[in-house]
Chain A
Amino acid sequence: MADDREIKDLERALEQIWEIAARLGLDPFPTRFEIVPATVMYEIGSYALPGRYSHWTFGKAYHRMKTMYDFGLSKIYEVVINTNPSYGFLLETNSPIQNKLVMAHVLGHVDFFKHNAYFSKTNRRMVESVSSHAGRMSEYEFKYGRKTVEEFLDAVLSIEEHIDPNFFIKQERPPQTEEQRAAGLPKEGRYDDLWKIGEPVASPTPPARELPRGERLPEKDLLYYIMRNSPALTDWQRDAMGMIREEMEYFVPQMQTKTLNEGWASYWHSRIMRELELTDTESIEFAELHAGVVSPHKGQLNPYYLGYKILEDIERRWDNPTAAEREQFGRKGGEGREKIFEVRELDNDVSFLRNYLTEELCEELDLFVYELVEEEEWTVTEKRWERVRDQLVSNLTNFGFPYIVVADGDYNRNRELYLKHQSEGAELDANYARKVLEYVFRLWGRPVHLETTADGEQVVMRYNGEEHEED
Chain B
Amino acid sequence: MSVQRNDWSLQRKGIIDQERHKDRVREAIRKNLGSIVSNEAIILSDGKRSVKVPIRSLDEYKFRFDHRKRKHVGQGDGKTRVGDVLGREDGRGQGKGGSGPAGQDAGADYYEAEVNIDELAALIFEDLRLPFLEEKAKQAVPAKTTRFNEIRRTGVMANLDKRRLIFENIKRNARTSSGAKFGNVKKEDLRFKSWEEDNRYESNAVVLALMDVSGSMGEFKKYIARSFFFWMVRFLRTKYDNVEIVFISHHTEAKEVTEEQFFTQGESGGTVVSSAYQLALEIIRARYNPRDWNVYPFHFSDGDNYYSDNEEAVRLADELIGTCNLFGYGEIGEEGTSGYRRSSGALLSIFKDRLHRKERFVGVRIDEREDVYPALKQFFGQRGVEA
Residues on A facing B (Cβ under 8 Å): 2, 7, 10-11, 14-15, 18, 30-37, 39-40, 42-43, 46-47, 51, 54-60, 62-63, 66, 90, 92, 150, 157-159, 161-162, 296-302, 365-372, 375-383, 388, 391-392, 395, 401-402, 404, 421, 426-433, 435-436, 439
Q: Mark B77-92, 1 if CB is under 8 A from A, else 0.
A: 1111111111111000
CB of B10, distance to nearest CB on chain A (Å): 11
Task: Assess the A46–B14 pair: CB atoms within 8 A.
Answer: yes
Q: Are B73 and A429 in touch, CB under 8 angstroms?
A: no
Q: Judging by beta carbons under 8 Å apart, are A296 and B109 in contact?
A: no
- The answer to whether B153 has its CB under 8 Å from any CB of chain A is no
Given contacts A55-B17, A426-B70, A433-B63, A368 and B76 within 8 Å (CB-CB)? yes
Partner among A11, A162, A299, A404 whose Cβ is within 8 Å of the Cβ of B74: A299
CB-CB nearest 3 A-B residue pairs: A299-B98, A59-B17, A43-B14
Please judge, given known A-B contacts A33-B3, A379-B85, whether A404 and B75 are in contact too, CB under 8 Å.
Answer: no
Q: Does B157 contact A (CB under 8 A)?
A: no
Out of B5, B6, B20, B99, name the residue touching A59 (CB < 8 Å): B20
B71: nearest chain-A partner, CB-CB: A371
Q: Is the interface of A mostly helix, strand, loop or mixed?
A: mixed
Closest CB in chain A relative to B97 CB, distance in Å? 6
Per DSSP, chain B at the interface is loop
B140 CB to nearest chain A CB (Å) = 43
Could you tell me if B17 and A62 are in contact, using CB atoms closer than 8 angstroms?
Answer: yes
Among B2, B19, B60, B83, the residue within 8 A (CB) of A379 is B83
- Of chain B, the residue at the smallest CB distance from A92 is B5
Taking a contact as CB atoms under 8 Å apart, the answer to whether A367 and B75 are in contact is yes
Instruction: Give the residues from 1 to 58 in chain B that come closer than 8 angstroms, CB to CB, to chain A.
Output: 1-6, 8, 11, 13-24, 57
Q: Check: B150 CB closer than 8 A to any chain A CB.
A: no
Q: A39-B14, A56-B21, A297-B98 are in contact. Are A366 and B65 (CB under 8 A)?
A: no
Whether A436 and B1, one on each chain, are in contact in the complex, defined by CB atoms closer than 8 angstroms, is no
Check if A54 sits within 8 Å of B75, measured CB to CB: no
Query: Which of under 10, 10 to 19, 20 to 34, or 35 or more describes the interface residues of B?
Result: 35 or more
A433 to B109, CA, bound (A): 11
- B74/A43 in contact, CB under 8 A: no
Q: Give B312 Cβ to nearest chain A Cβ, in Å.
A: 53
Residues in B whose Cβ lies below 8 Å from that of A365: 75
| Residues of chain B lying within 8 A (CB to CB) of residue A7 | 3-5
Point out the residue from A32, A39, A46, A366 that lies within 8 Å of B77, measured CB to CB: A366
Known contacts A55-B20, A299-B100; A33/B86 CB under 8 A: no
Q: Is B287 an interface residue (CB 8 A)?
A: no
Check if B17 sits within 8 Å of A58, measured CB to CB.
yes
B65 interface neighbour in A31, A388, A428, Cβ under 8 Å: A428
| B4 in contact with A429 (CB, 8 Å) | no
- Residues from chain B with a CB closer than 8 A to the CB of A428 are 63-66
Tell whether, in the assembled complex, residue A429 and residue B64 are in contact, meaning their CB atoms are under 8 Å apart: yes
Knowing that A57-B21, A297-B98, A372-B68 touch, tell me 13 more A-B residue pairs with CB under 8 angstroms: A7-B3, A34-B6, A40-B8, A47-B14, A54-B13, A58-B14, A62-B15, A150-B20, A367-B76, A368-B74, A377-B87, A395-B73, A431-B106
A–B complex contacts, Cβ < 8 Å, 17 sampled: A32-B1, A32-B4, A33-B4, A34-B5, A37-B8, A55-B20, A60-B21, A62-B15, A63-B18, A297-B75, A302-B75, A369-B71, A378-B89, A378-B100, A380-B76, A426-B70, A435-B59
Tell me the minimal C-beta distance from B72 to chain A in angstroms.
Answer: 6
- B81: which A residues are within 8 A, CB to CB? 380, 383
In the complex the two chains form, is B80's CB within 8 Å of A300's CB?
no
Question: Does B142 reach chain A (CB closer than 8 Å)?
Answer: no
Closest to A302 in B: B75
Q: Which residues of B contact A426 (CB under 8 A)?
A: 65-66, 69-71
- Say yes or no: A296 contacts B75, CB within 8 Å: yes
A404 to chain B minimum Cβ distance, whole angstroms, is: 6
Partner of A14 from the list B3, B5, B87 (CB cut-off 8 Å) is B3
State which of B63, B80, B88 has its C-beta within 8 Å of the C-beta of A402.
Answer: B63
Nearest chain A CB to B311 CB, angstrom units: 52
> Of B6, B11, B64, which contacts A432 at CB under 8 A?
B64
Interface residue B339 (Cβ < 8 Å from any Cβ of A): no
**How many Å lie between the Cα of A43 and that of B15 in the bound state?**
8
A contact residues around B59 at 8 Å (CB): 435
- Minimum Cβ distance to chain A for residue B112 (Å): 12
Contact A381 B82 (CB under 8 A): yes
Any A CB within 8 A of the CB of B171 = no
Given A369-B71, A379-B84, A401-B63, the answer on whether A62 and B18 have CB atoms closer than 8 Å is yes
Say whether A430 contacts B66, CB under 8 Å.
yes
How many angstroms from the CA of A63 to the CA of B22 in the assembled complex? 10
In whole angstroms, what is the CA distance A57 to B106 when docked?
Answer: 20
Which of A18, A157, A370 has the most chain B CB within a 10 Å cutoff?
A370
Query: In the docked arrangement, what's the CA distance between A39 and B71, Å?
Result: 38
A392 close to B73 (CB less than 8 A): yes
Measured between alpha carbons, how far is A19 from B96 in the docked complex, in Å? 46
Judge whether A298 and B77 touch: CB under 8 Å.
yes
Which residue from chain A places its CB closest to the CB of B109 in the assembled complex?
A431
In the complex, B61 has a CB within 8 A of chain A: yes
Contact residues of B between 160 and 193, Cβ < 8 Å to A: none
- Which residues of B are found within 8 Å of A370, using beta-carbon distances? 71-74, 86, 99-100
Is there contact, CB below 8 Å, between A380 and B4? no
Distance A435 CA – B266 CA, assembled complex (angstroms): 44
Structural contact, A59 and B21, CB atoms closer than 8 A: yes
Query: Is B62 part of the contact surface with A, judged by Cβ < 8 Å?
Result: yes
B336 at the interface (CB under 8 A from A): no
